[in-house]
């Protein structure tokens, strides 16, 4: 149900994604994440088009962590920040993190190779139903994503929305 | 032998003296080496000529990235190009080759600037609807860039070879030239100068007949509105065309015609192109 991908460039890390629907305790979860009792990034799935988007963000975050150049204070925060097209950290959290009224949550865990993560433990803390990542496209708010990333109409002709989003994420700090 | 589906990095190495951003230059010298390099890196895989030339100082190649299904595609003077799976997608990894003969501070700055320019130009192209690969990851430490791999694509260079070899359908080439002209006009209208226009840096998505072009290799690109820079850009392509593909004068003419028809700013650019042609190498400047 969940999906795990090993980061090729950082073989000691793998990224696991868990998706939950009909979530009732978003506020409590948010608090737990901030306190650190859930060691994962809690993301608003309506802003996510495809798991690849998360992988690109996680890859960048891990890279920056390894070279000590993160803009935020934790890896999980950096993942959320990497998703955002803006350089404003609190804005990134507002748009890509979860808010108290959310009913769906995407949890991203970056794990050190040999450490085992108890996924059941994390899932049990969510008052909601875990669903397969295949359900993600149904949750995506494409209009909101297009607006957030300022995708141009010409761009839509030469590639997918995911292409536009990923390109902006990866070149954010170049410009 | 025809090299299929290779995103060739025929990165013409411009001399450091010419200035890293490569703006309009009076002496069209750098075009020469760029073209020469192209011939060497053209149909042949690997860069034996380039390596021999640069072998004064031992060049340590960058370590290949640990991507599954990794294949070395091209060992250009500027970068080693690999193909592999990155985060589950077919990707191209370009790892810059450090130049030991350069002062380290300059090398660092130049490398970073080239990479930033490439990333910037790729984003700018996409925003304007000009087909170019998606950027997946930029590593400022090793100065490497991970891009979308246009799977099963063929370079325009290889396509022209195969069409000319088979001897049929020269009219398809004219249509291709028109599409190229249109694409370049749109790119220049966004003030994007490619910097290394060759038929090896233009890909055709499958199926080839659709003439779905994709521009690649923006490592030497920069932003400029000057007709001179756009003219030089076209001149580089013209030289590459003539040197790599015999009997393609009409093709290039069709390209320019389509360019002029598509771009509203083409007048001064074509004028500059004519001027640059007169300037070129081995041209008598008497009078």
User: Are B246 and B190 in a shared domain?
Assistant: yes
From B65, B84, B137, residue closest to A170, measured CB to CB:
B137
The pLDDT score that the predictor gives to residue B286 is 61
Flag whether the ipTM exceeds 0.90. yes
From B67, B116, B127, residue closest to A152, measured CB to CB:
B127
Separation in Å, CA B233 to CA B23, B190, B223, B273: 10, 14, 12, 9
CATH number at residue B128: 3.30.200.20
User: Are B262 and B166 in a shared domain?
Assistant: yes
CA distance to partner chain B, nearest, from residue A161 (Å):
11
Separation in Å, CA A15 to CA A42, A76, A83, A109, A145: 13, 11, 15, 6, 23
pLDDT digits (tens, 9 = 90+) for A72-107: 999 999 999 999 999 999 999 999 999 999 999 999
CB contact under 8 A, B85 and A158: no
User: Are B259 and B174 in a shared domain?
Assistant: yes
B125 occurs within a structural domain: yes
User: Are B141 and B161 in a shared domain?
Assistant: no
Give the chain A residue whose CA is nearest to the CA of B117. Answer: A174
User: Are B89 and B187 in a shared domain?
Assistant: no
Task: Tally A–B CB contacts below 8 A.
Answer: 81
B13 occurs within a structural domain: no
Residues of chain B with Cβ-Cβ distance to A157 below 8 Å are 129
CATH number at residue B187: 1.10.510.10
B269 occurs within a structural domain: yes
Q: Which regions in chain B score pLDDT beneath 50?
A: 1-57
Cβ pair B209, B163 in contact under 8 A: no
CB contact under 8 A, A170 and B136: yes
The CA distance from A163 to A160, in Å, is: 5
Range of the domain at B108: 70-148
The CA distance from B129 to B111, in Å, is: 27
Which of B116, B148, B180 is where one domain is finished? B148
pLDDT digits (tens, 9 = 90+) for A100-149: 999 999 999 999 877 778 888 888 999 999 999 999 999 999 999 999 99
The pLDDT score that the predictor gives to residue B107 is 87
B230 occurs within a structural domain: yes
The pLDDT score that the predictor gives to residue B60 is 60
- Top residue of A3, A113, A174 to mutate, by most chain B CBs within 10 Å, is A174
The pLDDT score that the predictor gives to residue B72 is 82
From A60, A154, A163, residue closest to B128, measured CB to CB:
A154
From B89, B129, B138, residue closest to A157, measured CB to CB:
B129
- Buried/exposed code over B63-77 (b: 16+ C-beta within 10 A; e: otherwise): eebebeebeebbbbb
- B contact residues 120-139, partner A, Cβ 8 Å cutoff: 120, 122-123, 126-131, 134-139
Q: Is B53 exposed, middle or buried (0-12, 13-18, 19+ CB in 10 A)?
A: middle
Residues of chain A with Cβ-Cβ distance to B137 below 8 Å are 9, 56, 59-60, 63, 170
CA distance to partner chain B, nearest, from residue A162 (Å):
10
Domains in chain B: how many in total? 2
B168 occurs within a structural domain: yes
User: Are B135 and B161 in a shared domain?
Assistant: no
pLDDT digits (tens, 9 = 90+) for A16-71: 999 999 999 999 999 998 888 888 999 999 999 999 999 999 999 999 999 999 99
Classify the phi-psi angles of B195: left when phi > 0, otherwise alpha if psi is within -120 to 50, otherwise beta: left
CB contact under 8 A, A175 and B123: yes
A152 — contact with chain B (CB < 8 Å)? yes
Q: Catalytic pick from B149, B196, B217, B229?
A: B196
Cβ pair A107, A42 in contact under 8 A: yes
Q: How many residues does chain A have?
A: 175
User: Are B177 and B82 in a shared domain?
Assistant: no
B189 — contact with chain A (CB < 8 Å)? no
Residues of chain A with Cβ-Cβ distance to B141 below 8 Å are 67
Which of B104, B120, B148 is where one domain is finished? B148
Query: Taking chain A, what is the end-to-end CA distance rounded to the nearest angstrom?
Result: 38
Strand partners, B223: B192
The CA distance from B60 to B49, in Å, is: 17
Structural domains present in chain A: 3-172 (3.30.2380.10)
Q: Is B196 a catalytic residue?
A: yes
Separation in Å, CA A141 to CA A23, A55, A144: 18, 19, 5
B167 — contact with chain A (CB < 8 Å)? no
User: Are B111 and B191 in a shared domain?
Assistant: no
The pLDDT score that the predictor gives to residue B104 is 87
Separation in Å, CA B22 to CA B12, B16, B114, B218, B263: 12, 9, 10, 13, 23
Specify the DSSP class assigned to residue B100: T
Question: What average pLDDT does the structure give for chain B?
Answer: 79
């Amino acid at each position: 149900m969940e999906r795990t991908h090993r980061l090729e460039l950082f073989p000691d890390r793998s990224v696991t994604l868990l998706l939950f629907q009909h979530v009732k305790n978003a506020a409590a979860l948010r608090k737990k994440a901030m306190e650190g009792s859930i060691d994962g990034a809690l993301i608003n799935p309506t802003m996510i088009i495809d798991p690849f988007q998360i992988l690109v963000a996680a890859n960048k975050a891990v890279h920056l962590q390894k070279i000590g150049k993160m803009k935020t204070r934790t890896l999980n925060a950096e993942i959320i920040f990497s998703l955002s097209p803006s350089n404003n950290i609190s804005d990134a959290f507002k748009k890509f993190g979860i808010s108290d009224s959310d009913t769906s949550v995407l949890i991203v865990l970056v794990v050190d190779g040999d450490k085992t993560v108890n996924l059941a433990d994390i899932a049990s803390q969510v008052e909601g139903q875990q669903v397969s990542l295949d359900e993600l496209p149904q949750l995506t708010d494409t209009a909101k994503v297009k607006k957030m990333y300022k995708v141009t109409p010409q761009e839509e002709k030469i590639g997918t929305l995911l292409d536009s989003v990923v390109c902006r994420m990866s070149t954010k700090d170049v410009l | 032998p025809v090299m299929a589906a290779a995103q060739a990095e025929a990165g013409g190495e411009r001399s450091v003296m010419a200035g890293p951003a490569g703006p309009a230059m009076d002496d069209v010298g750098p075009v020469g080496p760029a073209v020469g390099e192209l011939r060497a890196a053209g149909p042949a895989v690997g860069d034996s000529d380039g390596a021999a030339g640069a072998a004064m100082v031992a060049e340590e190649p960058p370590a290949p990235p640990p991507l599954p299904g990794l294949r070395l595609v091209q060992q250009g003077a500027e970068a080693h190009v690999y193909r592999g799976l990155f985060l589950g997608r077919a990707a191209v990894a370009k790892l810059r080759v450090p130049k030991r003969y350069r002062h380290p501070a300059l090398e660092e700055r130049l490398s970073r600037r080239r990479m930033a320019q490439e990333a910037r130009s790729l984003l700018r192209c996409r925003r304007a609807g000009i087909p170019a690969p998606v950027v997946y990851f930029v590593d400022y430490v090793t100065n490497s860039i991970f891009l979308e791999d246009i799977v099963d694509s063929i370079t325009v260079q290889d396509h022209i070879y195969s069409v000319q070899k088979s001897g049929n359908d020269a009219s398809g080439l004219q249509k291709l030239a028109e599409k190229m002209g249109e694409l370049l006009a749109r790119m220049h209208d966004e003030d994007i100068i490619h910097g290394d226009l060759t038929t090896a840096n233009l890909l055709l998505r499958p199926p080839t007949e659709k003439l779905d072009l994709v521009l690649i290799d923006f490592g030497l690109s920069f932003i400029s509105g000057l007709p001179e820079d756009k003219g030089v850009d076209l001149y580089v392509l013209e030289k590459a065309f003539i040197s790599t593909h015999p009997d393609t004068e009409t093709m290039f003419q069709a390209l320019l015609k389509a360019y002029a028809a598509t771009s509203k700013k083409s007048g001064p650019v074509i004028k500059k192109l004519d001027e640059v042609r007169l300037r070129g190498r081995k041209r008598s400047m008497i009078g």
